[in-house]
Chain A
Amino acid sequence: MKTLFSKFAALIITLFLVSALAFFAFALIPADPATTMLGSEATPEAVAALRSQLGLDRPLPVRYFEWLAGFLRGNLGESYLYRMDVGQMLSGKIAVSALLTTLSFLLTVALSIPLGVLAGSVRNRYLDAAAVGLNQLVMSVPPFFLGILACYGLGIVLKWFTPGAYVSPEKDFWGCVRYLIFPALSIAIPRSAMAVKLLRSSIRDQLGQDYIRTARSRGASETSILLRQVLRNALLPVITFLAVSLAEIMTMSILIEQVFSIPGVGQLLLSSVSNRDYPVVLAIVMLLAAWIVTIHFLADLLTRLADPRVRLG
């Protein structure tokens, strides 16, 4: 309980520090947003007027706390480029990206655990070497390249889907899921390969433990030993890996959204980076950072819950 509390305190402090770091980094960049917005021919008076309208003439710490307070109340800021509320710009896109991330995560779990168990239980040396080699190969394919391969092979050649013909979830939810399956697979397959590798070595470690010998001495079959004794132990490190994967999946989906032209948070982030629309970049980065820090916190918590040695001390 005490560790839980201190972990939670650390989470809050980390979020606070990350927000401050991000805010000041974006506030200190040389480009003046007022000049950017009005163009280089604007009169100094007009620039000054806009600066005070945007609140840029006030001291940084004041602006930071105002921004933070607004952020916590759901006011994510205003886009320089579109003069639009960032929350509004994000609203539809977050749902798409969340759907893609969820699908990718579920596919990763669904692929990696059975395959990892299979890889961990292979006895034949040559079969094992072949599986390890194949796994290493799959791990090496960057998701965005896998996405392009999927677009070509499954989209253009086999015509299972039309690359670029994205359907929004409001219009047709299942149509959207059907389209997102392919980008989600492109993210999930290399991720699963990493998880399979971890689970395989974790199972190997566990199979050498004394308690396996005990289980054998009771007449348990190898399958039941694997599923009922080994798996719970072997999954402990994999749980952490999979949870932390949510952060990586999020980042990978920025790239994959490009490949499959999915109008999600990633595309907005990229266009805002290109357009130097800092309030939007700052808001998205903060949201992603909060998500990642929270994921790490939850992953830690989950591992503690799953392991009685840690849970009960």
Chain B
Amino acid sequence: MLQVEHLSVRFPGGAAPAVEDVSFHLNRGEILGLVGESGSGKSVTAQCLAGLLLPDAEVTGSIHLEGQELTGASPAQLRAIRGKEVAMVFQEPMTSLNPVLPVERQVEEALRIHTRLNARQRRDRALAAMAEAELPDPAALGRRYPHQLSGGQLQRAMIAAALVSEPKYLLCDEITTALDVTVQVQILDLLARIARERNMGVLFISHDLRLVKKLCHRALVMRGGRIVETGTVEELFHAPREAYTRRLLDAIPTRESKLR
């Protein structure tokens, strides 16, 4: 279980904390949605979990990963967890991959860092992960460079790169935002299947409530750095207790939801 208690993050020079007193937990095999408008602290929360915040960010509270305390852990300890226990996928697939390295080389990167597998074993695992992320012809695709792939393919490659070291938790930060609607749906199906098959906990961050409703079991609603509401997706969508959640729901174009 990934457990977050009273997490607060403050950046130097920032008047208000970016994240304030946030508590939640994420079970393995569960998909937890995190919704809110931009600037609500969603990404900061995820980056804090992944340990990617700048060193001068001031973090208080506690993050427990399978019983291990992460706040206050040494950089080396955090590096051993990042990419191994907790992997992350980002919003912009086009810029999130290194432009001068072939895709396959980047998919296997986590194995290079966290395992002692040889080049051949790494390659086999990388190709398997790419196949699992439903990339067609992984061997051929892996030799190509990021600029030669489409956004959807790149995002699948990013997911493959995250899966390759078999992490227990996956943090997805707006991973469908930069993609076409049809590709978005495919990526969601992929995530749902992987979470089920691998018994992996997924934190799905999005500003798009429809996606959260389609994919997640539970969801958190954030606003101004705080969690304003939490519950199962059914509860949130059918009987929102908070006015803010209701407003977010009202903002969904109804005609489109009818069409679906």
Contact = CB atoms under 8 A, between A and B. Distances in A.
* A touches B in complex, CB < 8 A: yes
Interface of A: 209-211, 213-221, 224, 229, 232-233, 236, 306-309, 312
A221 B78 CA distance: 10
19 contacts: A209-B95, A210-B90, A210-B92, A210-B95, A211-B95, A211-B99, A213-B90, A214-B97, A214-B161, A215-B109, A217-B90, A218-B83, A218-B87, A219-B80, A219-B83, A224-B113, A308-B99, A308-B145, A312-B145
Given A217-B87, A219-B80, A309-B99, 4 more contacts: A211-B98, A219-B83, A309-B100, A312-B147
Contact of A213 (B84, B96, B161): B96
Interface string B72-84: 0000001111111
B113 A218 contact: yes
Contacts of B52: 213, 216-217
B34 interface: no
Q: Which residue of A214, A221, A236 has the most chain B CB atoms within 10 A of its CB atom?
A: A214
A308 B143 CA distance: 12
Interface in B58-82: 78-82
Contacts of A236: 100
Given A218-B113, A219-B79, A219-B81, A308 B147 contact: yes
A220 B100 contact: no
Nearest to B100: A232
Contacts of A218: 82-83, 87, 109-110, 113, 161, 165
Q: Which residue of A224, A232, A308, A312 has the most chain B CB atoms within 10 A of its CB atom?
A: A308
A214 B82 contact: no
Interface in B126-181: 145, 147-148, 158, 161, 165
Interface residues of B, number: 30
Interface in B91-137: 92, 95-101, 109-110, 113-114
A229 B80 CA distance: 19
A215 B109 CA distance: 8
Contact of A219 (B82, B101, B147, B148): B82
Contacts of B96: 210-211, 213-214
B50 interface: yes
What are the 6 closest A-B residue pairs judged by CB atoms, nearest first?
Answer: A218-B83, A219-B83, A219-B82, A210-B95, A217-B88, A308-B145
A233 B73 CA distance: 32
B148 to A, nearest CB: 6
Contacts of A210: 90, 92, 95-96
Nearest to A123: B55
A42 B85 CA distance: 94
Given A219-B79, A308-B147, A214 B90 contact: yes
A232 B101 contact: yes
B147 A309 contact: yes
A236 B100 CA distance: 10
B145 A214 contact: no
